[in-house]
Structure 1
């Protein structure tokens, strides 16, 4: 563990944290926990995770800010200090003795560690600077022979839009060219025809909400203005390493849309009103059309769905979708647990890319059947599910590994941590002491000479509590 002080005095001031610690101690007192006690949590500039029970509002009354004012005041005090320090997120753990003497340890930050989710434990450890999971590195396959759909009709599209939007202000050729230069890709003809009718700027409508609604109805979506168009590539679809590593790009030979995270040929131009983005697809699947309209769900981090074969179809309300055939081949992402696959044998096949072993009530599992699989790049295993963690040494193509602390201890002591890894994670129960977990994380980071999770030790006195 690195013992290092954060540079900003307010973060390194025990008084900054005292209100949060008192709230957590009061929560502990409800359970009559004997001293010394350990409390932990995480506070970031955009949110926090503290083990506090919030008061329920009276029946018939909605929850009010006043109901959690004490918590908000305590957290905002820390958040202000984080902002002043330029720190996004800090986990902490504190031990409070019977006398009130308190040792508070701030854990982080490290540029090589993602924040944990709802716990003070570290998230994914980025072992290779700038590393991305395989699906986020995948580029589209060439759309050989792809062409616009027969339904794409520039004249019909423009005529229909002008009839529906007679007072709209269209974009100039200079404005369209500027958008193309910014995006680094030519706009397809249908999209240019649309913007020649309306450039979709709010100020052009005179802040008229009804006019905006009319435009949505005329186009078939909430249209972005030219300055808001963006390329929906993989970088635009952010996802945490531990989730992204368990995804896979799969495109069937008869697919209309490639099963990508994103593409340099997906130009997002609108929203369906529910947070899902509509894009023109210039890199279609094997059976798709250049310029087809697809939807990127805000609830998914990979893939897109066909909406219409052309922008003309979208405007005319001729929607379509891609059928979802039943998969007859083994999945490239396999989950072995009490509710899914019931053995490693059922998951093992040459195309397997990601294997996740979850909650398991049988004997610990052997990894012998997946050793040597050519495409296996991700393994996650719930604590206690592996018969022999050292079998992981035979998985020579892993780029992501998530294990419990005891399994990591076996690999570290044996010098058997796979050197092929780009990222790693430690699976822990929420109530585990963060300090031993951080120590293991720092051992793993040290193998790649990555920045450590720093520890800032603060001491104070909360006084004896009744």
Structure 2
């Protein structure tokens, strides 16, 4: 980069800093003779910044919308029972031996916690807080809290800080989340969810969260202990069949991958992937990605009518008839090339079930793409993206 160009970039950075703008999408062209253009796309709440290419990001078509996996509620667990290893007497005796003189919560305080959470806590977690409430108010005792954590096996939360794991908080954004899926089978100990009203977080290992699971999977136990990994946005790992096991150090490992990021829930068609749309068609299909492809464009006819298909992404030029998208009646996320979007817009065929959308670009000017994005946003009465084009002459390069 020449000194002139570098100075120009620094001037822009200073101007953005003065305006409180932390990031901005731009495209700059500087010709050898000095003629230069700079296109700026200003940040807006209706666009989620892209993780990588393309630079425009994801259009959010309503406030607070999330992909379906982050909204999914647990299946009923009417027959779920505590594990045989759940031993209330042993648990209480062990905790009292490890925590002599600890102050426990009253029945009224435990009932208040249940009312606040909207759940009935497991008998084991009640035993834990009857022994030590780990109170964190004005009389908080750090040493007592540390002893309680050592006795239980994690950084223990106070009774008043028990909370259910909120799936929405774990959402990684549409650019990543739209192509994710989760699935549970009859042998699943933990339901494949982002969160649950019955995942009651009670402690941590300094980063990840331990929770008692009141909504276990078909092969799980009521009150089992699970680990919610802070680096993952879906699912949880079984670590102990009961809180008794957890306190006694009798850990479990469930290594099966429950994310469902493969067939039949997620399918990828294209070079080095599936060679036909028909091969991807399955009643459980949720996410269809059509990547680079050297053959004839694909028809979407084989996936029409699939009940769970919610995400479609397609590289420009890979659809034989973009209007077939209108027949996919359950789409919540759609990513197409600019020409395919143009066809849908001109025909008034953009699916109104969409929650979010993206324009997949190749080496295109971003200003026309922004204009197209604003047409899409207008269908949902969303605010428009503001763009600025600057042109000038920097003088010949030295």
> Shared fold (TM-score greater than 0.5)?
yes
Residue from 350, 364, 369 that aligns with 2:302: 369
Matched, 1:320 2:252: yes
Distance (Å, rounded) in 1 between the aligned partners of 2:3 and 2:320? 42
Residue deviations 1:96-149, cap 9 Å, x none?
677878765542343322122246833221223443222222211110111211
Taking a change above 3 Å as real, the CA distance of residues 458 and 201 of structure 1, as seen in their structure-2 partners, is: farther
Matched, 1:144 2:82: no
Structure 1: segments with no counterpart, 5+ residues = 1-20, 29-38, 40-70
Contact 1:239 1:301 in 2 (8 A): yes
Distance (Å, rounded) in 1 between the aligned partners of 2:309 and 2:112? 44
Residue from 240, 243, 254 that aligns with 1:308: 240
Matched, 1:391 2:371: no
The aligned counterpart of 2:387 is 455
Contact 2:51 2:175 in 1 (8 A): no
Matched, 1:344 2:277: yes
Contact 1:168 1:198 in 2 (8 A): yes
Distance (Å, rounded) in 2 between the aligned partners of 1:177 and 1:382? 55
Choose 113-122 or 254-263, whichever is displaced more.
Answer: 113-122
Matched, 1:188 2:122: yes
Counterparts of 1:198-217 in structure 2, within 5 Å, are 198-200=132-134, 203-206=140-143, 212=146, 215-217=148-150
Shift of 1:267: 0.9
Distance (Å, rounded) in 1 between the aligned partners of 2:340 and 2:323? 9
The aligned counterpart of 2:48 is 114
Counterparts of 1:229-308 in structure 2, within 5 Å, are 229-273=162-206, 275-308=207-240
SS in 2 for 1:402: strand
Distance (Å, rounded) in 2 between the aligned partners of 1:227 and 1:172? 12
Contact 2:66 2:168 in 1 (8 A): no
Taking a change above 3 Å as real, the CA distance of residues 23 and 386 of structure 1, as seen in their structure-2 partners, is: farther
Distance (Å, rounded) in 2 between the aligned partners of 1:178 and 1:24? 66
Could you state the TM-score of these two structures normalised by the residue count of structure 2? 0.84
Matched, 1:414 2:315: no
Shift of 1:257: 1.2
SS in 1 for 2:238: strand
Structure 2: segments with no counterpart, 5+ residues = none
SS in 2 for 1:346: helix
Shift of 1:338: 3.0
The aligned counterpart of 2:367 is 435
Taking a change above 3 Å as real, the CA distance of residues 188 and 401 of structure 1, as seen in their structure-2 partners, is: same
Residue deviations 1:275-313, cap 9 Å, x none?
322111111112221111112222322222211111111
Taking a change above 3 Å as real, the CA distance of residues 163 and 286 of structure 1, as seen in their structure-2 partners, is: same
Distance (Å, rounded) in 1 between the aligned partners of 2:179 and 2:54? 23
The aligned counterpart of 2:96 is 162
The aligned counterpart of 1:81 is 19
Contact 1:121 1:437 in 2 (8 A): no
The aligned counterpart of 1:25 is 5
Distance (Å, rounded) in 2 between the aligned partners of 1:300 and 1:352? 22
Contact 1:232 1:267 in 2 (8 A): yes
Shift of 1:351: 2.3
Taking a change above 3 Å as real, the CA distance of residues 159 and 465 of structure 1, as seen in their structure-2 partners, is: farther
Contact 1:378 1:399 in 2 (8 A): yes
The aligned counterpart of 1:52 is none
Contact 1:152 1:313 in 2 (8 A): yes
May I ask how many residue pairs the two structures share in their alignment?
A: 393
Contact 1:92 1:120 in 2 (8 A): no
